[in-house]
Structure 1
Amino acid sequence: MKFKIAFTLLGLVFAFNVASAQDCRVTLSLFNESAKVKNFSDAYPKYKDLLKNCSDYHILIYKRGEKMLEGMIDVAETEERKQELIQEFINNQMMRLENFPNDTKEGAMLADVAMIKYKHEIGTLEERLKAFEDVAEADKDNFSSPVAIYAYFRTANDLNDTGERDIQFLFDKYDEVIELIEIQENDKAAEAQPLIEKKQSQQELTSRESRILKNSEIYLRNYTKIKGSVNSLLGSKADCDNLIPLYNKEFDEKKSDVSWLRNANARLSAKDCTEDPLFFKVSEALHKKEPSANSAYSLGQLAEAEGNRAKALEYFNEAAELETSKSKKSRIYYRIANNYKDRGNYSQARSYYRRALDSKPSLGIAYLKIADMYAKSANDCGKTVFEKRAVYWLAADYATRAGIVDPSISSNADATAESYKARAPQKSDIFQEEAAGRKISFSNCWIRESVVVPNI
C-alpha cells in the first residue's frame, strides 16, 4: 500500500513538472513572438511571469528580455519609469549569469551593466568608473565590447578633466585600456590567421570558417577605430612637452622610488621622449634599482641612438627575456627585427618578426616588413625568371595578411600587395609556362618557403 502511495505521488510530481515545463515553453514562445515585433505591452507581462515561474527554463528569456528592456528604456515616458527599467535590465543580465553560467560570459554581462549606467548617467563618475573596473577585474578576457572599452576610458578622462583624478591616474587607465584592446585584437587575429593562410593557399573555406573570418575582420576594424579614439582623447596630455616637465620636477624627490621610476620610464619610452637627458637619468636609475624589461629596453634605445647597435641588441634581448607582457615582448622583438633588417640580415630579421607575431598576432606591420624583404630578395631566389618573379606572390600574400590582422594599415597593405602582384607573373606567363596550380619552392635562398601558382 505504501509503495502504491509513493508511486502515485511520484507520478503526480512528474506530471506537475511536465505541465510546468509545458507552461514555460508556451509562455516563452508567446513572449518571444511579441518581443521580436516590439509589442512591449504584450511581451512585458509574459516576461515577468517567466522570471517568476520559469527563471531557469531557457536562456532565451534573458536574451530576448535584454533587447525588450533596451527598447522600453528608450521609449519610457517618465524618468522614474526609465530608472525602474534600467534596474530591471541590470537584474536581467545578472539573473542570466546566475541561471546560465556555462552559456554566459561574465565580462560581457558586467560590461552591459557598466554601459547602461554610463549611457544613462546612473550614479557619480566614480561609481560609473567602478562598474567598468569590476569588469576588468572579474573577467578582462571577455571585456570585448569596443564601445564599452572606449566608455571606460572616456569616464576616466572625464574624472581627470574635472580634477577628481590626476594625470598619472589617466596614464594608468590608458595603459590598462590599451591592454584590453590588444587582448581582443590578438584573440581575433589568432583566430583569423589559419583561415587567412588556408584561403591564400587556394583552399576553400567552409561557410562556418568564412563567417568566423568575416567577424574577426569586423572586430579588428572596430578595435582599430576605438584605439584611435582613445589616443585622441588622451591627446596632448601625454606628449613629451607635458611629460618631461612633469617628471623633471619630481625626479630628485622620486629617484629612489622604484614605482615612480617604472611609470616614468614606461611613459617616456612609449611616447619616444628618449632624446631628453631626463630619459637617460630615469632609465639608469631604474636599471640600478630594479633591472627590468622596461629599463633594459630603455637603455637599448639609448645605445641605439648613440650608434652602438651591438650594445643595443644586447639590452633589447635582455629586455625580451625579462618581459612578461606579450604585447610589450612583441614590441621588443619587432625593434630587434628592424635592427637586423636595416643591416641586411633578412633571415635573422624574419626570425624576430615571427617572434613578435607569436606574441602579438595582430601586429600587421611585421607581416608587411617580411613582405618587403621577400620582394627585395626576388632576384636572389628561384632558378628561372618565372620563379624569381613568383616570389612577389609570396610577398603579396604577406602584405595581404598585414591588412587583415591590422585594419589600421589596410590601405597601405592592400596597395603594397597589388604592387607586388603586378610584378609577379601574369596570366599569359602562367599559360606559357603551363604552371597553374604548380608549387614553387624557394629553397635556394634564405626565404625557404613555397607558393602555389594561382589559377588566373
Structure 2
Amino acid sequence: MKALLRITLFYALLVITGITVAQAQRVLKGTVYMDGKPAAGITVEAQRGGMMMTSFDGKYEVEADAKTKRITFTFIDDKKTLDIEGKTGDVFDFAFTGELPSGEAGDDNGAGGEVNLGTADDLIKAGDETFRTEYSLYLEFYKQKDYKSAKPHWQVLYNQYPKSTENIYIQGAKMWEDFIEKATTKEDRLKLINEYMKIYDKRTKYFGEKGYVLGRKGAAWLTYRYKLCTDKGEAPEGDELIQVYKSGYEWLNESIKLQGAETEPTVLVLFMQTTVALFKLGELPKEQVVLNYETTTKVANEIITANKDEQNVKLVQETVLPFSEEIFGKSGAADCEVLEKIYLADFDANKDDINYIKTMLRRLGKANCTESELFAQATERLYELDPSAEAAFNMARRLIKKGDIAKAKEYYKMAMEQETDKELLASYYLQYGQVLYSESAYSEARSYARKVLEIQSDNCDANMLIGNIYVAASRSFEGKGVEKAAIFWVACDYYEKARRSEDCSIDAAQKIAEYKKYFPNKEEAFMEGLQAGATYKVGGWINENTRVRF
C-alpha cells in the first residue's frame, strides 16, 4: 500500500512539475509584414527565449519564458521591438514597415510596436530599461559619428519613444543626410530622402513648431531631392521635376504664412526660386509670381523692423532683398507696366537721388523693361548726375533697344574700362557677350562669357551663353558625322553646369532635352571607334574636351 502511495505521489509530482514547466513557457508566433506583405529574412528573437528567421510566408514561432516582455525584429541593421508585457495571447503579427493587412498601423508612423509618449526624464524615472539601453547605445555611436551602428538603436527610440527628446529628430536629420550623401544608387537615395521627410513630419506631430519645421523640410527637400541628385547626374526631369518643385514650394509657402517675421531668411530665397521655377514650367501664373515677390519683400521688411536677430537682419538686407529682386526681375513675370507704375509715381521726387535712380534702373533692366520713356529719362538723368561706368552701361542698353548697336558697343567698352566693382563688371561682360552673340561673333562672345566665369565661376547665365554659342556655331562648323554632332556634347556640358543653379535650372533642363536628340548615335560612334564615357576633343576654334554619350 505504501509502495502504491509512493508511486501515486511520484506521478502526481511529475504532473505538478509538468504543469509548472508548461506554465513557465510560451510559444510566441505570428506573421511579420513589410509594406502590407509577408516579409522574409526577418530575425525574430524573444527576450529570454528562442530565435528564428522568417521565410517567404513571413511566419515565426519561438519559445519564450512566461516573463518575456518583448520581441525583437531585425532586418539587416534595422532593429525594432514589440513590447508584449501585460498582453494576453501568444499571437503577435507585426508590421516592420507600413501597416498590417488589417489596416492597423504597427505604430504611429507605420513601424510596429507600442508607443510610449513619456519624456526622457519620465522614462528614466520609471526605470524603462529598454529606453535607457537603446538611448545610451544610440548616443554613444552618434557621438562617434558611427551612424550606421547608431541607426538600429535610434530606430527603437523613433518608433517607440517618439516624444522622449527632440534630439531624435534633430540628430536623426543629420544621420539621414549622411546616409543620403553616401547612397550608391538612385533607388536607395530616393528611398532615404522620403524617409528623411517623414522625420520632419513626425517632429511636428510630437514637438510642434510646424511653421519652422516646414521651412527646414522644404530647404532639405530642395537641397537633397533636387541639388544633390542633380550633382550626382540624377536630375529630375519632366513631370518628376514639376512635382519636386511643387512639394518644396508648398512647404515653404505654408512655412512663411505660419512664421511671418520669424521666417528664416533662407526660406524666403528658396520660396522665390521655386516660385520662378514653377512659373517657367507653366505651373504658376504671372500674377502669382508678383504676389509672391510682394510677400517675400513684405516679410523681409518685417524681419528688419522686428530686429530680433542682428545677424538675420544683416542677411536679409544684404542678401535676401537684393537676391529676391534679381530673381523676380529675371523671371519674365516682372510685368514692365507694373514696375513702371511703381517707379513713375516716385521718379520726379527722387530724380536727383543717384542711388534711387541706380536701383530703379537695375530693377527695370533685369526685367528687360528698357524701352519705356521712364527708362530713357532715368538713364539720361543718371549720366548727367554721375557719368560713371554704370551710367555708361545703362546708356549702352538704351541704345541697343533703339537699334544703334555700334554706338551701344562704345558705351559698353566705356563701362567695362571704368568699372572697378567685379560683380558689376561681370554683368557688363555678360551683356556685351550677348550682343556679340546676336551678331554671330561667336568666338569673341565666348571670350566675354569666360571673363564672367573668371569672376563668378558658377554664373549660370554665362554657362548658358556658351552652350547657346556652340549650338548656333554647329550650323557652320566644319566637319562631318561625329565631328559636327559632337558640338552638342560640349553645349550640353555647359547646360549641365547651368542646371546646377536654381536661376537657370528650368531653361537649362529644357535645352538639354532639346539638344540631346542631336547627339551622335551609337552606329556613328562605333565606326569612329568611340565608346560611351570616352574623352572626345572637339577641334577648331571650339577646342574643348567632352565625353562620349548617346
Q: What range is the shorter-chain TM-score in? A: 0.5 to 0.7
Give the structure 1 partner of residue 320 of structure 2: 177
- In structure 2, C-alpha distance between the alignment counterparts of 1:118 and 1:303, rounded to whole Å: 44
2:407 to 302, 306, 311: 311
TM-score by length of 2: 0.45
1:429 to 524, 528, 544: 524
Give the structure 1 partner of residue 468 of structure 2: 369
1:262 to 331, 340, 358: 358
2:159 to 17, 25, 37: 37
Give the structure 2 partner of residue 447 of structure 1: 542
Q: How does 1:197-276 map to 2 (within 5 A)?
A: 239-276=335-372
- In structure 2, C-alpha distance between the alignment counterparts of 1:116 and 1:253, rounded to whole Å: 36
Output one character per residue of 1:215-238: Cα deviation in whole Å (capped at 9) or x when no partner. Answer: xxxxxxxxxxxx689969xx6xx5
Q: How does 1:291-310 map to 2 (within 5 A)?
A: 291-310=387-406
Q: How many residues align?
A: 315
Output one character per residue of 1:305-361: Cα deviation in whole Å (capped at 9) or x when no partner. Answer: 2333233223224444526363x5444323211221222221101111223344243
2:421 partner SS: coil
Contact 1:337 1:350 in 2 (8 A): yes
Output one character per residue of 1:127-155: Cα deviation in whole Å (capped at 9) or x when no partner. Answer: 43xx64xx57xxxxxx8983598799675
1:430 partner SS: helix
Counterpart residue identity of residue 320, structure 2: V
Give the structure 2 partner of residue 6 of structure 1: none
Contact 1:297 1:315 in 2 (8 A): yes
Tell which has more relative contact order, 1 or 2 (C-alpha 8 A, sep 6+): 1
Give the structure 2 partner of residue 146 of structure 1: 270
Counterpart residue identity of residue 159, structure 2: V
Give the structure 1 partner of residue 515 of structure 2: 417
Give the structure 2 partner of residue 348 of structure 1: 444
Counterpart residue identity of residue 266, structure 1: R
Q: 1:174 to 1:240 in 2, by over 3 A?
A: farther
Larger Rg: 2
Question: Is structure 2 residue 419 aligned with structure 1 residue 322?
Answer: yes
Shift of 1:116: 12
- In structure 1, C-alpha distance between the alignment counterparts of 2:388 and 2:356, rounded to whole Å: 14
Contact 2:135 2:154 in 1 (8 A): no
Q: How does 1:376-415 map to 2 (within 5 A)?
A: 376-379=475-478, 382=479, 387-403=483-499, 405=501, 406-415=504-513
Output one character per residue of 1:19-66: Cα deviation in whole Å (capped at 9) or x when no partner. Answer: xxx99955836984554226234x23xx79x9xxxxxxxx949969x9
Output one character per residue of 1:165-221: Cα deviation in whole Å (capped at 9) or x when no partner. Answer: 9xxxxxxx89953755799xxxxxxxxxxxxxxxxxxxxxxxxxxxxxxxxxxxxxx
Q: 1:283 to 1:353 in 2, by over 3 A?
A: same
Output one character per residue of 1:416-445: Cα deviation in whole Å (capped at 9) or x when no partner. Answer: 322321xx3x433333444558866555x3
Output one character per residue of 1:75-119: Cα deviation in whole Å (capped at 9) or x when no partner. Answer: 57xxxxx58x99999xxxxxxxxxxxxxxxxxxxxxxxxx89956
Give the structure 1 partner of residue 112 of structure 2: none
Contact 1:330 1:355 in 2 (8 A): yes
Contact 1:254 1:260 in 2 (8 A): yes
Q: Which runs of 5+ in 2 are unaligned?
A: 1-132, 141-149, 176-195, 215-251, 276-291, 306-315
- In structure 1, C-alpha distance between the alignment counterparts of 2:523 and 2:213, rounded to whole Å: 67
Q: 1:455 to 1:247 in 2, by over 3 A?
A: closer
2:384 to 249, 264, 288: 288
Question: Is structure 2 residue 422 aligned with structure 1 residue 279?
Answer: no
Shift of 1:252: 3.0
Contact 1:268 1:279 in 2 (8 A): yes
Shift of 1:366: 1.6
1:349 partner SS: helix
Counterpart residue identity of residue 464, structure 2: I
Counterpart residue identity of residue 512, structure 2: D
- In structure 1, C-alpha distance between the alignment counterparts of 2:199 and 2:489, rounded to whole Å: 51
1:295 partner SS: helix
Contact 1:392 1:420 in 2 (8 A): yes
Question: Is structure 2 residue 139 aligned with structure 1 residue 28?
Answer: yes
- In structure 2, C-alpha distance between the alignment counterparts of 1:230 and 1:74, rounded to whole Å: 39
TM-score by length of 1: 0.52
1:256 partner SS: coil
- In structure 2, C-alpha distance between the alignment counterparts of 1:440 and 1:291, rounded to whole Å: 49
Counterpart residue identity of residue 419, structure 2: L
Contact 2:343 2:360 in 1 (8 A): yes
Contact 1:28 1:61 in 2 (8 A): no
Shift of 1:261: 1.4
Contact 1:371 1:396 in 2 (8 A): no
Q: 1:23 to 1:243 in 2, by over 3 A?
A: closer
- In structure 2, C-alpha distance between the alignment counterparts of 1:117 and 1:398, rounded to whole Å: 35
- In structure 2, C-alpha distance between the alignment counterparts of 1:62 and 1:433, rounded to whole Å: 49
Counterpart residue identity of residue 374, structure 1: A
Percent identity of equivalent pairs: 20
Counterpart residue identity of residue 261, structure 1: I
Q: CA RMSD in A?
A: 5.2
